[in-house]
Each structure stands twice: as C-alpha cells, then as structure tokens.
Amino acid sequence: MAKSKMLTSADLATLKHAKTLLENPGLAAKATNLLGLPIEKGFEALPDNWREKVTIATEAALTKALKVAVHTMSDGNPEPPNDRWHMLVVGVSGALGGAAGLAALPIELPVSTTIMLRSIADIARSEGADVRDVATGLACLQVFAMGGRTSGDDAADSGYFATRALLARSVSQAAEFIAEKGLTEAGAPPIARLIATIATRFGITVSEKAAAQAVPIIGAAGGALINTLFMDHFQNMAHGHFTVLRLERQYGAEAVRLGYENL
C-alpha cells in the first residue's frame, strides 16, 4: 500500500488524542488526586524489603505476560475493545490484594498483569493489529514500559518515542529468538534482556500502585479502586500506542513521528 506523505486533518486529530493519552501524568499523580493526599505517605508505610518484593513480583508478572502474549488470541474483525469488562475483573483482583496488603503482591500482580495484557491485546485488535503475530504480542508487552509522565521527566529521555527506541533492540532480538525457538527457553538472554528492560520501567508504576495500596485508609475497597486506576492507566497507554502503530502502517513511521512531534 502506498503511504501518504502527510496525515489528513482527521488523522492528525486522532494522533493528537493519542499523544494526549501517552504523554499524560503517570499513576502516582492520578492516585494522589484520587486519594486526596500525597502518595509519599504510602511509601512511608511500606516495609523495609518492599523494593525487593516489587522487583521479584514485576519480573515474574512480565514473564507470565510474555508467555500469554505470544499465544494465539482469537482473531476477528476489528471491533471496540471491552475495556469495562477487563477493568471489572482486575478490580476484583485488586480487592483481594488490597485486603491482604503487600504480602499478596507476588500472587496478585501476575494475575492483574495478565488480565491487563488481554485488555491491551483487545485494544490492539480494535486498531487492526494481527494478534496472532509475535510482533503484536511484543508490542502489547511494550505498553507496560509506558508509565506516562512525571514532573521531573525530560521529554527527550522519557517520551513515548524515546521509550520505543529504548526497547527496539531488545524487542527485535526477542522476536527473532521466539520465532526460531518459541518460549521453551524462557530464561534465554534475548528474552531475559527484554523482561529486564521493561521491568525497570513497569516496576516504577508497580511501586506507585503498592504505595497507594499501603495508605492506611485503603483496604479491600481501596485496593479494587487502585487496581481499576492501574488498569485504566495502561488501557490509555495501549489506546495511544496502537493508534500510533495503526497510523504508521498507513502513512509510514517517519510521517507519523514528525506529526506527533509537531503537535
């Protein structure tokens, strides 16, 4: 298909909406607004070994998610994703995790991450992506590295395209390895590197989630609310990401990036 040099006004408006989703504040800012108090209060409430727990839980969750991502998902014509259903299910998971506290994180996080991955794949399909393709599965996984903006971010280092550039080589190597050998060697260097790279960024958002759930007033109901916010955050990242990828298929990567940067 020949690619146009310039996006139409309608597609520029679509790209603008995608950029708004991708460059909006991250989970910490949203949780602070929801709770009505700084999320730092939650960090103070976490036990001394919480960083180790988050690191272990994050890498385990992503490893499980990767295995799900490269399995065939039911294909079909693009249709609106079922965001609300996935949000409801992940909210139940959050309620259980909120009741049990940080100790439940190693159990709850892989479950909620896998549910989120299914929602992300649903969004990818709605934007015309082939969900049977390994590349689409890995594009879904990349969404977990897109944590949104914080007040201290430098646009050149932490924006959407910077994140994609950071992941590009690891994703390419993992895709080649999986295409050749599958996931029979989950600890193989190409896969381990991809997981580690994404986990570094996903872990920041997971830490913010853990801190929000550690706020004394949270409990089970609050855990469900935080997990719903967690899901909403990554659904927004997925909608933005796969909108950009759809436009790239239509116009070419260079034209879309130029349009994105000029908005």
Which H/E stretch holds residue 64? helix 50-69
Q: Which residues pair with 149 in a beta bridge?
A: 25
Task: Identify which of 2, 23, 25 has the alpha carbon closest to the alpha carbon of residue 163.
Answer: 23
Of the pLDDT bands very low, low, confident and very high (cuts 50, 70, 90), residue 241 is: very high
Backbone φ and ψ of 8, nearest 5°: -70, 165
Q: Give the 3-state secondary structure of residue 149.
A: strand
pLDDT in tens, 88-135: 555 555 455 554 456 667 777 888 888 888 889 889 989 999 888 888
Instruction: Express each pLDDT in 248-263 by its tens digit.
Output: 999 999 999 999 999 8
Helices within 133-252 (DSSP H only): 134-142, 155-158, 160-181, 189-214, 219-251
Long-range CB contacts (within 8 A, 24+) of 166-172: 166/197, 167/142, 167/194, 167/197, 167/198, 170/194, 170/197, 171/138, 171/139, 171/142
- The two tokens of residue 142 are 């990349």
pLDDT of residue 12: 96
Residue 10's pLDDT band, with cuts at 50, 70 and 90, is very high
Domain boundaries, the chain: 9-262
Answer yes or no: is pLDDT of 177 > 70: yes
Which range, 1-5, 55-59, 102-106, 215-219, has the best average confidence (pLDDT)?
55-59
Q: What does the block give as tokens for 242?
A: 């796969």
Q: How many residues does the chain have?
A: 263
In three-state secondary structure terms, 75 is: coil
